[in-house]
């Protein structure tokens, strides 16, 4: 399970662009906590604290304990608004998580044993179809990554979601098909040789049929 990170926040009373601009000038980011059938709560967080978490690349699938003036809220970031040029955070939305909550999150895929993979050692190429998979997970059991073991993968193999061991209570959001996560593809040279061999076999077959027809 991913770690739960702490984030300090302060209530904010004002609203609108002017208030948000003033907060950013003080080194803070306007944000809101919503959900659980409670009124939204406007807050602000320190730029450096939220940016540090954002730069890990895991802000949107990491649980946070947000301390608002001494009161803690268990949340997960659902949306982050960025500056169109500077890529700095302008605003963040946090979803409250009650006991037993289940949420959809994007979880990154990591590949194990690439160096010993038979298909790769024989010249195959790892073709990643999905770098992440969206899962429905219990809020208290969000995996950091989905691990895909290539120890026995051969050239030409396709690895599907059904072959991945997921944590208890986690299931793919896409449930109507056994989708592909990665394949071990033959390199272009191998595919070209195979195509030429198939073509040659086809020509030989045509020549044989022509000879038989001539004898008649």
pLDDT of residue 201: 55
pLDDT tens-digit readout, 144-176: 899 999 999 999 999 999 999 998 899 999 999
Q: Which two tokens stand for residue 72?
A: 């803690």
Residue 117 DSSP label: -
pLDDT of residue 171: 95
Q: What are the phi and psi torsion angles at 166 (to 5°)?
A: -100, 150
Cα–Cα distance measured from residue 104 to residue 142, given in angstroms and rounded to the nearest whole number:
10
106 and 133 in contact (C-beta within 8 Å)? yes
Residues with Cβ within 8 Å of residue 133, at least 6 apart in sequence: 106, 107, 109, 146, 161, 172, 181
Task: Find how far residue 212's CA is from the centre of its chain.
Answer: 59
pLDDT of residue 98: 86
pTM across the whole model = 0.71
Give the CA-trace dihedral at 151, 153, 159, 163, to 10 degrees. Answer: -50
pLDDT tens-digit readout, 93-149: 999 998 888 999 999 999 999 999 999 999 999 999 999 999 999 988 888 899 999
DSSP assignment of 62-81 equals -EEEEEETTEEEEEEEEEEE
Residue 153 DSSP label: -
Class level of CATH domain 5-98 = mainly beta
Q: What are the phi and psi torsion angles at 104 (to 5°)?
A: -95, 125
pLDDT of residue 172: 96
104 and 139 in contact (C-beta within 8 Å)? no
Whether residue 209 is predicted with pLDDT greater than 70 in this model: the reply is: no
Higher pLDDT, 97 or 18: 97
Whether residue 194 is predicted with pLDDT greater than 60 in this model: the reply is: no
Tell me the domain boundaries of the chain: 5-98, 103-191
CATH topology of domain 103-191: RNA Polymerase Alpha Subunit; Chain A, domain 2 (2.170.120)
């Amino acid at each position: 399970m991913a770690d739960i990170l702490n984030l300090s926040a302060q209530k904010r009373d004002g609203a609108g662009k002017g208030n948000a601009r003033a907060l950013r000038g003080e080194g803070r980011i306007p944000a809101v906590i919503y959900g659980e059938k409670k009124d939204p709560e406007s807050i602000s967080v320190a730029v450096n604290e939220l940016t540090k978490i954002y730069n890990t690349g895991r802000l949107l699938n990491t649980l946070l304990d947000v301390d608002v003036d001494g009161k803690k809220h268990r949340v997960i970031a659902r949306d982050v608004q960025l500056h169109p040029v500077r890529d700095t955070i302008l605003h963040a939305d946090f979803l409250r998580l009650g006991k037993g909550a289940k949420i959809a999150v994007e979880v990154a895929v990591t590949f194990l044993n690439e160096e010993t993979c038979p298909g790769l050692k024989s010249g195959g190429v790892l073709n990643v179809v999905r770098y992440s998979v969206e899962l429905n997970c219990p809020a208290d059991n969000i995996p950091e990554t989905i691990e895909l073991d290539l120890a026995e993968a051969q050239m030409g193999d396709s690895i599907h979601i059904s072959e991945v061991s997921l944590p208890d209570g986690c299931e793919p959001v896409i449930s109507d098909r056994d989708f592909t996560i990665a394949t071990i593809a033959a390199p272009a040279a191998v595919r070209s040789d195979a195509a030429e061999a198939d073509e040659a076999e086809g020509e030989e077959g045509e020549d044989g049929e022509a000879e038989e027809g001539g004898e008649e």
